[in-house]
Structure 1
Amino acid sequence: MTAPRARTPAENAQLALLLDVAGTPKPGNVDRERDLADLRFEHFLAGAVGSGEGLRRAESGAPVGAAFERAVAGMGRQRGGNTQFGCLLLLVPLVRAAAEGSLSPDGATAVAEATTVADAVDFYRAFEHVDVAVEDPPEDAAELDVRRGRDAAPTLRSRELTLYDVMERSEGDGNAREWTGGFARTFDAAESMLGDDGPVPDRVARAFVDLLSEEEDTLVRTNHGPEVAAEARRRAAEARGDPAAVAELAEAFVEEEINPGTTADVVCAATFVALERGMPV
Structure 2
Amino acid sequence: MSRESPRSPAENAELALLLELAGTPKPGNVDRHRDLEELRFEQFLAGSVGSASGLRMAAAGAPLGRAFERSVAGMSRQSGGNTQFGCLLLLTPLVAAAAQDDLSPSGVERRCRATTVDDAVAFYRAFEHVDVAVGDPPEGADELDARRGAAAEPALRERNMTLWDVMELSADPPAGEPDTNGLEWVEGFPRTFTAADAVLADDGPVTDRTARCFLDMLAAEPDTLVATNHGADTAREVQQRAGKTLTAVRESGSLDPAEELAEAFVVEGINPGTTADRTAATLFVALERGLRV
Same fold (TM over 0.5): yes
Cα deviation digits, residues 167-201 of structure 1 (max 9, x gap)? 01112111000000110100011000000011111
Q: What does residue 81 of structure 1 align with?
A: 81
Kindly provide the amino acid, as one letter, of the partner of residue 90 in structure 1: L
Cα deviation digits, residues 59-114 of structure 1 (max 9, x gap)? 00111000000000000000110000000000000000000110000000001000
**Two-structure CA RMSD over aligned residues (Å):** 0.8
2-structure distance, mates of 1:73, 1:198: 35
Kindly provide the amino acid, as one letter, of the partner of residue 251 in structure 1: E
Q: What does residue 118 of structure 1 align with?
A: 118
SS of the counterpart of 2:25? coil
Q: Mapping of 1:1-281 within 5 angstroms?
A: 6-171=6-171, 172-241=178-247, 242=249, 243-281=255-293
Deviation at 1:158, TM superposition (A): 1.1
Cα deviation digits, residues 33-59 of structure 1 (max 9, x gap)? 010000000010000000000000000
Deviation at 1:138, TM superposition (A): 2.0
2-structure distance, mates of 1:71, 1:224: 28
Deviation at 1:227, TM superposition (A): 1.1
Cα deviation digits, residues 222-245 of structure 1 (max 9, x gap)? 000011101100000000042221
Deviation at 1:6, TM superposition (A): 1.8
State the number of aligned residues. 277
Kindly provide the amino acid, as one letter, of the partner of residue 285 in structure 2: V
Deviation at 1:134, TM superposition (A): 0.3
Cα deviation digits, residues 239-278 of structure 1 (max 9, x gap)? 0042221110000001101000000100100000000000
SS of the counterpart of 1:29? coil
Deviation at 1:139, TM superposition (A): 2.6
Name structure 1 gaps, 5 residues minimum.
none
2-structure distance, mates of 1:216, 1:12: 28
Runs of 4+ in 1 over 4 A off after TM superposition: none
SS of the counterpart of 1:147? helix
Q: What does residue 174 of structure 2 align with?
A: none
1-structure distance, mates of 2:27, 2:233: 18
1-structure distance, mates of 2:20, 2:256: 20
